[in-house]
Structure 1
Amino acid sequence: MEGTSFGAGRAGSGAVDPLDFLQQPRTVLRIAAWVFSIVVFGAVVNEGYVNRDSGPELRCVFNENEAACSYAIAVGLLAFFACIFFLLLDLNFQHISSVKDRRAAVLLDLAFSGLWSFLWFVGFCFLANQWQRTKGSQGVSQAGDAARAAVTFSFFSILTWAALTVKALQRYRLGTDMTLFATDQFPAAPSGAGYPGAAGGLDGTDTYQSPPFAETLDPSPKGYQVPAY
């Protein structure tokens, strides 16, 4: 089985099949989170502000609390762009060659998914509480479906982002098989090869060599005689 690095194989090992990518659980969860974010901030933007019975001034449908509508729009809009970003990151994750870059991408996914699951939990509790306190009126009754949709899909968003957090944690725990990045960078040494300079070592048959120029030395060179005293 081919080694993996944070759930993906060797960089450049092959093109990503779009159909297979769309069927992955992580991709399905991201698309679901993307759709839920559209429902939440879209419902609040389009029908989350209603007229007062006493005048034309627009007020937030959630107990006339502007913070509730602003919170839902902000969290939903940021989640919308984050889902697009992480979908593109997942699509190109296979082509990230650096181990550090892959680790940083997984940690970013883990931190953001965990944070947004918490923010959606806060948003769900906030919107549900303010909706329960909302007094009935003609404008509220007209925007009731949009308000309930925002509350419901805020709850669904908690589940999807929590599942994405678990997926990111699992991918981080997979770690890295370092042989993916080391085997191709260094040539394999031939079997049986020793260290350079070890030829004729202690186990060799030629353990001793004559000193250089030893055979050319002559104690009585020609043309020279030892004088007699």
Structure 2
Amino acid sequence: MEPVGSFLPGKSGSSHFDPVVFVKQPRTILRLLCWVFSMVVFSCIVNEGYMNIGSERLLCVFNKNADACNYGVTVGVVCFLGSVCFLVLDIYFPTIHSVRLRRRATLIDMVFSALASFLWFVGFCFLANQWQQTTEEELPLAQGSDAARAAVAFCFFSILTWAGLTALALQTFINLFQNFSLFTDQLDDSAVTTTTPAARPSPTESP
């Protein structure tokens, strides 16, 4: 989120927020991609992922398995909201003065990103398997086929983007520990220097 030096206590919040620099950061780009990919997945399923064949009941295009559509929509919405929340956190992260709060925020980011990547992996395998089992007779005039393929494809892309965010969060978490340890050592050294008593002058010899 910031250069390594900005993780030290006392420097938090000293940098001015630059929208252009913020948007160009790899973390921000991955956040926006996750946001877009999540929106594409649940939008494709909600808009064209259900079909109506001779009945009032809507059937999922993924092998008529309602669980597949529900899973894709649920994970898509959760990751969509998560992307927005963590994007806001990235904006306010430089203003956090406490290193402990920074570590907690980074840890939450890392855990959520890893979990999201895993959920997208499961979703990709699930939707791809159900789509392979879907026959042409179940989809007259290829109804919803483009949306189904797009959902499967962007599930795969989401695995990569969330995995990238996990790696960046892990790197930030390690940097926080390293810089905090360095800062603590510097405080200890300065404390030892200031508390060391001055040497007494040697007594003068009597004549």
Q: What range is the shorter-chain TM-score in?
A: 0.7 to 0.9
* In structure 2, C-alpha distance between the alignment counterparts of 1:16 and 1:156, rounded to whole Å: 30
Q: Quick one: structure 1 residues 194 and 101, their matched pair in 2 at CA, closer, same or farther if it must change by over 3 Å?
A: closer
Q: CA deviation at 1:14?
A: 1.8
Q: 1:2 to 1:74 in 2, by over 3 A?
A: closer
> In the alignment, which residue of structure 2 is the partner of 1:109?
109
* CA distance in 2 between partners of 1:145 and 1:117 (Å): 24
Query: Could you give the per-residue CA deviations for residues 101-137 of structure 1, whole angstroms, max 9, x where no partner exists?
Result: 0000111111111111010000000000000111224
* More helix by percentage: 2
Amino acid at match of 2:16: A
CA contact (8 A) 1:3 1:180 kept: no
Distance 1:5 1:90 in 2: 14
Matches within 5 A, 1:198-213: 202-203=200-201, 205=203
Which residue number corresponds to residue 4 of structure 1? 6
Aligned partner of 1:29 in structure 2 is 30
1:72 aligns with 2:72: yes
1:10/1:134 Cα in 2 relative to 1: closer, same or farther (>3 Å)? same
Conserved 8 A contact 1:48-1:147: yes
In structure 2, give the amino acid aligned to 1:108: I
Find the counterpart in structure 2 of residue 96 from structure 1: 96
Deviation at 1:170, TM superposition (A): 1.1
Question: Which deviations, in whole Å up to 9, do the C-alpha atoms of 1:16-54 show, x marking residues without a partner?
Answer: 1110000000100010010000000000011111012x3
Q: Is the 8 A contact 1:3 1:9 kept in 2?
A: no
Kindly tell me the number of residue pairs found equivalent between the two proteins. Answer: 198
> What CA distance in whole angstroms lies between the structure 2 residues aligned with 1:119 and 1:106?
20
Residue pairs, 1:47-62, within 5 angstroms? 47-52=48-53, 54-62=54-62
Q: Percent identity?
A: 48
Normalised by the length of structure 1, the TM-score is 0.76
C-alpha contact 2:6 2:12 (8 A) present in aligned 1 = no
TM-score, normalised by the number of residues in structure 2:
0.84
Give the aligned partner of residue 149 of structure 1. Answer: 150
Secondary structure, in 3 states, of the residue corresponding to 2:5?
A: coil
> Which letter does structure 2 place at the counterpart of 1:5?
F
Matches for 1:131-146 after TM superposition, within 5 Å: 131-136=131-136, 137-139=138-140, 141-146=142-147
Does the CA contact (< 8 Å) of 1:61 and 1:140 recur in 2? no
Q: Partners in 2 of 1:30 and 1:192 — Cα distance?
A: 47
The alpha carbon displacement at 1:13 in A equals 1.1
Alpha-carbon distance change, 13 to 2 in structure 1, aligned in 2, over 3 angstroms: farther
Where do 5+ consecutive residues of structure 1 fail to align? 207-229
- Structure 2, unmatched stretches of 5+, are none
**Shift, 1:67, TM fit:** 0.5
- After the TM superposition, which residues 176-215 of structure 1 pair with which residues of structure 2 at under 5 Å, given as runs? 176=177, 177-178=179-180, 195=197, 202-203=200-201, 205=203
Paired position in structure 1 for 2:87: 87
